[in-house]
Amino acid sequence: MQRHSSAQIGTVRTKTPILTARTVNSYKWIMGLGETSVEKIILAEPRGFCAGVDRAVEAVHSALRTYGRPLYVRHQIVHNRFVLEALEREGAIFVENLDDVPSGQRVIFSAHGVAPSEWDRAKDRSLRVIDATCPLVTKVHLEVKRYDNEGRTVILIGHAGHEEVKGTLGVAPGRVTLVASVAEARTVEVERPDRIAAVTQTTLSVDDTRDIMDALKDRFPTMQAPKTDDICYATQNRQNAVKELVQVSDAVLVVGSKQSSNANRLVEVARMRGARAFLVDSLADVEPAMLDGVRALGLTASASSPEWLVEEIIGAFARAGAEVELLSVAKERVHFPLPMPAD
């Protein structure tokens, strides 16, 4: 473990852990004397919900308060099962296909965005849409549309099958080429090499994306790209925080879902720097083997993970005697207004 960092480190007040039947076994072994070597939790800042996720989740809460049940949501509003389960208890109904929404009902489009064809389908079925697409994803869609109107072939750096990527590909069907790696960037074939533009999925690794973009620029020197990086501020800030965290930690826990792109990228960023890093949904997934020989444990959360999951882990270790420090690399003050109502 390296002992230097340019980030600010301070103390944190801890809360009593939120114990449930699902987490009590994990709590018991953490509390067992001699069963954990962890002396310190180093908590990354920023972490957890970003402005786009906050907006999307609050859009569902607000719509339920205003309109009541039923309220349909196309796809998971965010990739975190705890958030989804809580919203389902309030009355949200998650569907993957708009055909599963009764004609005339309200439906929320998730933070990941949708292809224009989904808007057409919603209109055909008289659905009342509330658009919770993250504004930063909308920005990428507008870039693709502009480049396509200019007659350029658009290269999208992203992961096949991700919901955000599906929506972006649908902005210009058949005219956007997906590239997921440096190897693909070096071999991708396009019809007009002199008329190329590139955009990126918003939740990728900053470092990996830079390498892919550089490989594309080497092949296509006249390639157009946005003046600002498409990777969202929150994704970049959380990755920057992890880079600092690995310097002062013996291992890193990332709280997030396996379905979450930005959660997986945080683990990758840590491991690329030689850290022991683990993705956990919650306290229940923390295993003794993850903490073998660990005295300073780094802790962060993906942009789709609620803070109470972090507090649950902090509280358990604090009750077992661990101190808690805050490692801060940035302060986030971004706020997106709620989407317009469906009526």
Decide which of 84 and 10 is more confident.
84
Residue 32 lies in a domain: yes
Same domain, residue pair 30 and 69: no
Return the minimum-mean-pLDDT range out of 9-18, 33-42, 176-185: 9-18
CATH code: domain of residue 210 = 3.40.1010.20
Instruction: Give the pTM.
Output: 0.84
From the number of C-beta atoms within 10 Å of its C-beta (0-12, 13-18, 19+), residue 273 rates as: middle
pLDDT at 230: 77
Residue 205 lies in a domain: yes
Dist CA 63 CA 106 (whole Å): 9
| E-only strand ranges, the chain | 8-11, 40-45, 71-74, 92-95, 106-109, 128-131, 153-157, 176-179, 196-200, 251-255, 277-280, 296-301, 323-328
Is residue 43 pLDDT above 90, yes or no?
yes
> Of the candidates 219, 247, 268, which is a domain's last residue?
219
User: Band of the pLDDT at 11, cuts 50, 70, 90?
Assistant: very low
- Residue among 45, 164, 244, 312 flagged as catalytic: 164
pLDDT at 207: 82
Is residue 321 pLDDT above 60, yes or no?
yes
Read off the pLDDT of each residue in 157-167 and give the average, rounded to a whole number. 95
Same domain, residue pair 130 and 163: no
**Who contacts 221 (Cβ-Cβ below 8 Å, separation ≥6)?**
none
DSSP 16: -
**Tell me: the pLDDT tens digits for 207-229?**
888 999 999 999 999 999 877 66
Dihedral sign of CA atoms 30, 32, 38, 43 in order: positive
> Of the candidates 94, 117, 134, which is a domain's last residue?
134
Residue 151 lies in a domain: yes
User: Band of the pLDDT at 145, cuts 50, 70, 90?
Assistant: very high
**Who contacts 10 (Cβ-Cβ below 8 Å, separation ≥6)?**
325, 326, 328
**Tell me: the pLDDT tens digits for 297-307?**
999 999 999 99
Dist CA 66 CA 278 (whole Å): 40
The answer to whether 164 is a known catalytic residue is: yes
Is residue 105 pLDDT above 80, yes or no?
yes
Q: For residue 213, give the nearest of 253, 256, 239, 181 by alpha carbon.
A: 181
**Tell me: the pLDDT tens digits for 170-213?**
999 999 999 999 999 999 999 889 999 999 999 888 888 899 99
Decide which of 269 and 35 is more confident.
269
Q: How many domains does the chain have?
A: 3
Q: Which domain holds residue 311?
A: 8-49+233-328
Residue 114 lies in a domain: yes
Decide which of 27 and 340 is more confident.
340
Average pLDDT, the chain: 89
pLDDT at 27: 52
